[in-house]
A and B are shown apart, each in its own frame.
Chain A
Amino acid sequence: MFLVANTTKKAVIVKELNLHLGVKQAIDLHKVNLAIAPEKSGELRGYISSGAIKVLKQDSKKSKKLKESKKIVNNTIVNNTIDQEELARNIAAIVKQEVSNQNKDNREIMEALSGLSSLVKNQKSTVIVQGQAQGEVITKKKREKLDLDDETLVQIHKRSVDSMTEKAEGNLEYEDQEITDDTMEDDMSLLEDLL
Chain B
Amino acid sequence: MSNKVYGTDVGTMFFQTATKGTEDKLVIKTTRNAFVEVADIDDIEDTLRQNGWQYVKDGDRYFVIGEDSLRVAKMFPGQVELRRPLQDGVLNKSEDMKMLVLAELIESSVGKSTEKGDVVCTCVSSEAVDEATTSTFHKARLEAMFSRLGYDVVVIEEGLAVIFAENPTITEGEKTYNFSGIGISFGAGRINCVLAYKGMPIVGMSSMNSGDWIDETVSSETGKPISQVTSMKETKLDLGKDNYDDEVLFALTACYKAMISSVIKKFSKKFVEVKSEFDVPLDIVIAGGTSMPKGFCEVFENIVRDLELPFEIGNIKKSSDPRNSVVKGCLRRAIIANKKILKESNTG
Contacts and interface: CB of A to CB of B under 8 A. Distances in A.
Determine if chain A interacts with chain B.
yes
A162 B105 CA distance: 14
A34 to B, nearest CB: 12
A170 B328 contact: no
Nearest to B139: A150
Interface string A9-36: 0010100001010111100000001000
Contact of A191 (B26, B66, B332): B332
Given A161-B99, A176-B27, A181-B26, 16 more contacts: A22-B275, A24-B275, A25-B274, A124-B273, A157-B140, A158-B147, A167-B59, A181-B25, A183-B167, A187-B178, A191-B199, A192-B339, A194-B179, A194-B199, A194-B200, A195-B333
B175 interface: no
Contact of A195 (B28, B30, B136, B199): B199
B237 interface: no
Contact of A158 (B29, B139, B148): B148
B40 to A, nearest CB: 15
Interface string A129-166: 00000000000000000011010011111101110110
B341 interface: no
Contacts of B167: 183, 187, 190-191
Given A22-B274, A168-B104, A169-B57, A154 B25 contact: no
Contact of B27 (A20, A157, A178, A190): A178
Closest 6 CB pairs of A and B: A157-B144, A170-B56, A172-B108, A153-B140, A174-B29, A194-B199
B181 to A, nearest CB: 13
Between A11, A18, A153, A181, the greatest number of chain B beta carbons within 10 A of the residue's beta carbon is seen for A181
A182 B335 CA distance: 16
A161 B200 contact: no
Given A125-B274, A165-B100, A175 B200 contact: no
Interface string B143-158: 1110110000001000
Given A13-B200, A20-B202, A22-B274, A174 B148 contact: no
A177 interface: yes
A85 interface: no
Interface of A: 11, 13, 18, 20, 22-25, 33, 124-125, 147-148, 150, 153-158, 160-162, 164-165, 167-185, 187-188, 190-192, 194-195
A172 B28 contact: no
Contacts of A184: 24, 26, 332
A177 B56 contact: no
A166 to B, nearest CB: 9
Given A170-B104, A172-B104, A150 B28 contact: no
A164 B147 contact: no
Contacts of B333: 195
A179 B27 CA distance: 6
A131 to B, nearest CB: 18
A158 B55 contact: no
A176 B99 CA distance: 24
Contacts of A187: 164, 167, 178, 332
A20 B49 CA distance: 53
A156 B26 CA distance: 34
A187 B108 CA distance: 30
B294 interface: no
Interface in B85-101: 99-100
A173 B56 contact: no
A179 B65 contact: no
B336 A188 contact: yes
B3 interface: no
A165 B104 contact: yes
Between A155, A156, A168, the greatest number of chain B beta carbons within 10 A of the residue's beta carbon is seen for A168
Given A153-B137, A161-B99, A177 B336 contact: no
Contacts of A172: 31, 54-56, 65-66, 104-105, 108-109
A48 to B, nearest CB: 20
Given A161-B145, A170-B56, A171-B49, A177 B100 contact: no
Interface in B45-63: 49, 54-59
Between A125, A167, A170, the greatest number of chain B beta carbons within 10 A of the residue's beta carbon is seen for A170
B299 interface: no
Contacts of A125: 273-274
Between A24, A162, A164, the greatest number of chain B beta carbons within 10 A of the residue's beta carbon is seen for A164
Interface in B225-275: 273-275
A161 B103 contact: yes
B24 A185 contact: yes
A122 to B, nearest CB: 9
A124 B203 CA distance: 13
